[in-house]
């Protein structure tokens, strides 16, 4: 005789997925099968379906496809109130893996997985490639835990790309002022200013609002859904005053054509590299370093996970200032 009941096996690890507890009274054996949901009502419905179909009488092995894995992971992100950016990135990676959606993650061939992942990532920067690889790996890891699969994560076969060290293009404070003056609306100007004078990422700047400023600090929910506070400089305060009531969250989108036009009009002599939203953030760090800011302070203001990341990204600026530093010390000898 088989008895079924509900349980949450990994609640202590904050995985709220419900499982069917399948107890064979004759053999005394107990096994578990994931119901793929964190909602109790849905779990009861799926348990009832198992009873009606008799699917609990098998050996407990479950076929989980890549689409199942991503659907489960994205629902998990939504239930945890993850940032729109995190959810959108996961959905994007899921779409790029469409060629393997129907394949079982437990038996996928190495070549099929590598081909599916690399197919749409030719020429991508190492940082973007590695970030998307980590999203895939995290999604599969979560699905393996939720569906209680005894397999190795298939994404582990994807090797990270090594980043090619290159100088990051940035705008000088004067160039930034000129670009801000060419903003078509105050809503664009304040978003650009938040990136240029507080180092915010584009998705952070778009959703920021006046109420997020408390005691001279701007509170943001950043990358990885991490809360952080950023000092509001006197320069940024001027921009906030200029924006006035026009500063509202989600008032603009992240399309580059508006920025490209403003930058081209503002800097008529031209500039190296491209006009991108992220260039404002790079300019924030670059101008701090060029003004003599401590590299540790730059790491904290940029909210990099470790100082090595800051050094790797901006070491060319440090090296370019070495001659000036030597001249400051020994130029008059």
pLDDT in tens, 82-137: 888 899 999 999 999 999 999 999 889 999 999 999 998 888 888 889 999 999 99
Q: Is there a contact between 130 and 161 (Cβ–Cβ < 8 Å)?
A: yes
Estimate the crossing angle of helix 307-320 against helix 277-290, to 10 degrees.
Answer: 70
Query: Is the domain of 260 the same as that of 203?
Result: yes
Asked if residue 222 belongs to a domain, the reply is yes
Q: What is the pLDDT of residues 165-198, one digit of tens each?
A: 566 789 999 999 999 999 999 999 999 999 999 9
Residue 328 forms part of a structural domain: no
Which residues lie closer than 8 Å to 311 by C-beta, 6 or more apart? 295, 318
**DSSP for 189-244, written as a single string:** HHHHHHHHHH---HHHHHH--GGGEETTEEEEE-GGG-EEEEE--HHHHHHHHHHG
Residue 65 per-residue DSSP state: B
Q: Kindly state whether residue 166 falls inside one of the protein's structural domains.
A: no
DSSP-derived 3-state class of residue 109: coil
Residues 142 and 269 in one domain: no
Indicate which CATH number applies to the domain containing 70: 1.10.150
Rounded distance, CA 8 to CA 213, Å? 40
Residue 152 domain-assigned?
A: no
* pLDDT surpasses 90 at 224: no
The region that residue 287 occupies, defined by phi over 0 for left and psi between -120 and 50 for alpha, beta otherwise, is alpha
**E strand or H helix at 2:** strand 2-7
What six digits make up the tokens of 204?
A: 């952070």
Residues 47 and 125 in one domain: no
Domain count for the chain: 3
Q: 112 lies in a domain?
A: yes
Between vectors from CA 233 to CA 86 and to CA 278, what angle results, nearest 5°?
Answer: 35
Are residues 194 and 255 both part of a single domain?
yes
Distance CA 287, CA 301 (A): 12
pLDDT reported for residue 32: 80
Q: Domain range spanning residue 19? A: 2-53
Per residue in 40-66, pLDDT tens?
A: 888 888 888 777 766 554 444 567 899
How far, in Å, CA of 333 to CA of 323, rounded? 15
Using DSSP, state whether 249 is helix, strand or coil.
coil
Same domain, 187 and 221: yes
């Amino acid at each position: 005789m088989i008895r079924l009941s509900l349980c949450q096996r990994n609640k202590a690890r904050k995985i709220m997925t419900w499982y069917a507890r399948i107890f064979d009274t004759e053999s005394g054996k107990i096994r578990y099968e994931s119901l793929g949901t964190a909602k109790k009502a849905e779990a009861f419905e799926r348990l009832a379906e198992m009873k009606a179909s008799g699917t609990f009488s098998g050996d407990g092995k479950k076929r989980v496809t890549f689409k199942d894995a991503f659907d489960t992971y994205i629902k998990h992100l939504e239930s945890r109130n993850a940032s729109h950016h995190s959810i959108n990135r996961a959905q994007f990676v899921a779409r790029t893996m469409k060629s393997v959606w129907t394949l079982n993650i437990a038996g996928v061939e190495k070549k099929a997985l590598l081909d599916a992942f690399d197919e749409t990532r030719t020429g991508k920067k190492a940082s973007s490639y590695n970030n998307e690889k980590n999203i895939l790996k995290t999604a599969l890891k979560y699905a393996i835990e939720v569906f209680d699969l005894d397999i190795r994560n298939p994404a582990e076969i994807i090797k990270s790309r090594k980043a090619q060290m290159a100088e990051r293009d940035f705008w000088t404070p004067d160039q930034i002022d000129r670009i801000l003056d060419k903003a078509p609306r105050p809503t664009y100007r304040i978003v650009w200013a938040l990136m240029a004078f507080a180092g915010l990422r584009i998705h952070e700047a778009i959703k920021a609002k006046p109420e997020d400023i408390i005691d001279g600090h701007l509170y943001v929910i950043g990358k990885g859904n991490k809360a952080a506070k950023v000092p509001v400089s006197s320069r940024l305060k001027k921009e906030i005053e200029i924006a006035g009531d026009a500063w509202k969250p989600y008032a603009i989108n992240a399309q580059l054509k508006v920025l490209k036009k403003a930058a081209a009009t503002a800097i008529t002599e031209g500039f190296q590299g491209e006009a991108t939203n992220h260039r404002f953030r790079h300019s924030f760090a670059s101008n701090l370093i060029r003004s003599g800011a401590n590299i540790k302070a730059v790491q904290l203001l940029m909210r990099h996970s470790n100082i090595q990341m800051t050094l790797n990204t901006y070491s060319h600026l440090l090296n370019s200032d070495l001659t000036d530093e030597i001249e400051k010390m020994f130029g008059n000898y």
